[in-house]
A = this chain, B = another copy of it.
């Protein structure tokens, strides 16, 4: 049987034992909190991994793009939430086709945005479920909490639209300075969304789903009264950013990149065959500091070109040309999108591979 170190490089390696543990643990948290788990499958983009999540109790998956939903639907997934403001008639037509076989919902933060999709469904005598995005502090998309009911009413009045609830995402947790700060953001995330849900209900609007997100805030936000669903994504793999945030340890990270030292031009510099084409240029969170940790070493990848990971060698650490090392990426989700396949391993041995079937579905 092939050992990990026998693989040609660079290779994205997934430890199935760690992955299974991560999948089960989050499912147990959701069960204990009495909320539905709807993992954001954009992290892995792999139907086989999504099926593991369903088998452990997930109610369905979250995705961002219609093309990702098409891949997962073709693989048999029957309940998909596109946690994204889907805009445009072309995407509406593809969603309509999907809705024959899939329980679908999309996100929206404006009546203008969702109207084009709603019109496609209205013309077909159908309705698309919509969750209104509420901004709990990330300031990306989403309506301010105090305007949630007003916007939700306008969305609910669009022919072809059925209001299913509200959702949010505390992406600002990735910029938190301490674990205590992450916890405070998580609680606020749940409280703001639950309160927004109440404001909708007080105006007679239906709110079946109150859905929070993000791996760092998942446990805290899902424990807030009124929250019904949680959508963490990264937890299946974890990465150097989750470790830096104090969410997990290095031993909880299921994805690493096997790389080869291709050059040691100077005593303090080594070059790995994993650059931004393999790791992406995404910065470490919460504080940018290099581009990947070398497992078992103190030396870090200091800068990236497309095919080069330039390591500053810490005093006392040796690197030699041809040696293979394991790199823990800053951000696992973006690594998934760069690779057609991941290698599956257990106990250091290769067991097979998965195709990243929904990779690159930008539309």
Q: Is the C-beta of A292 less than 8 angstroms from some C-beta in chain B?
A: no
Question: Are B280 and A280 closer than 8 Å at their CB atoms?
Answer: yes
B-facing residues in A56-110 (Cβ within 8 Å): 64-65, 84-88, 90-91, 109-110
C-beta contact mask, A261-296 vs B, less than 8 Å → 1, else 0?
111111001010100111011110000000000000
- State how many angstroms separate the Cβ of A183 from the closest Cβ of chain B: 22
- State how many angstroms separate the Cβ of A357 from the closest Cβ of chain B: 13
Residues of B contacting A269 in the complex (Cβ-Cβ under 8 angstroms): 139
C-beta contact mask, A319-363 vs B, less than 8 Å → 1, else 0?
011100000000001100111100000000000000000001011
Residue of B nearest to A68 (CB): B307
**The one of B91, B271, B305, B307 that contacts A8, using a Cβ cutoff of 8 Å:** B91
**The one of B90, B281, B360 that contacts A340, using a Cβ cutoff of 8 Å:** B360
Question: Are B278 and A281 closer than 8 Å at their CB atoms?
Answer: no
Taking Cβ atoms with an 8 Å cutoff, the residues of A that contact B are 8-11, 42, 64-65, 84-88, 90-91, 109-110, 112-113, 116, 135, 139-144, 171, 260-266, 269, 271, 273, 276-278, 280-283, 305-308, 310, 320-322, 333-334, 337-340, 360, 362-363
User: 8 tightest A-B contacts by CB?
Assistant: A281-B281, A141-B263, A112-B321, A8-B90, A85-B262, A64-B307, A113-B321, A87-B262
